[in-house]
Amino acid sequence: MSLDLKSKEFYEMLLDNVLARVTKGSSASAGDRVLEISPNLIIDAKNTFFTNLGQVAKMLNREPAHLARFLLKETGRAGAISDDRLVIQGRMLHDEAKRLIDLYIKEFVRCPVCNGIDTRIVSEKRFRFLVCDACGAKSPVRRI
Ligand SMILES: [Zn+2]
């Protein structure tokens, strides 16, 4: 066997590997799962009650407190969690809440590599990473 043939085989093996990974990533069925998330909001004179915060957080596999911190921080509003509901001072309309949740999913749930949503946030020292259970990617995320 000549050296040339060996390196050709090696090259083809590498190529196969790359193709296998690309195929696996694009066909990850979990990543294509459609998230049907709709915040339930009750608005009174002073506050907005996000009544299904706990349920939405559970669908995203995140702590309700983490999602709540994001919503409040992004909008500069005050609020507090009470019994899995988020009480937000002031009015937050459905479209705004939906848009914020989409942003949250984009930043803190969806894997930037394979687009999957089977992810976790892990802490390492003072850093936070989004770890994908589908493709194994580990991406830095900001701490909120
Ligand atoms: Zn992934």
Ligand 1 centroid vs 36 CA: distance in angstroms?
20
Supply the pLDDT for residue 14. 52
Domains of the chain as residue ranges with CATH: 31-113 (3.30.30.170)
Q: What is the pLDDT of residue 104?
A: 98
Helices then strands (H, E): number in the chain?
5, 7
Calculate the alpha carbon distances from 104 to 5, 10, 45, 50 in Å.
51, 43, 27, 15
The string over 83-106, giving b where at least 16 C-beta atoms fall within 10 Å of a residue's C-beta and e elsewhere, is: eebbbbeeebeeebbeebbeebbe
Distance of alpha carbon 106 from alpha carbon 112, whole angstroms: 8
Distance 73 CA to ligand 1 centre (A): 27
Distance 31 CA to ligand 1 centre (A): 8
pLDDT at 22: 47
Rounded to the nearest angstrom, the distance between the alpha carbon of 22 and the centre of ligand 1 is: 12
**Strand pairing partners for 97?**
none
Q: How far is the CA of 105 from the centre of ligand 1 (A)?
A: 14
Q: Tens place of pLDDT for every residue, the chain, 144 residues?
A: 555 555 666 556 655 555 444 444 443 344 455 678 899 999 999 999 999 999 999 999 999 999 999 999 999 999 999 988 999 999 999 999 999 999 999 999 999 999 999 999 999 999 999 999 999 999 999 999
Count, residues in the chain? 144
Residue 101's pLDDT is 97
**Residue 105 CB-half CA count within 13 A:** 21
The reported pLDDT for the residue numbered 36 is 80
How far, in Å, is the centroid of ligand 1 from the Cα of 93?
32
CA of 133 to the centre of ligand 1 (A): 7
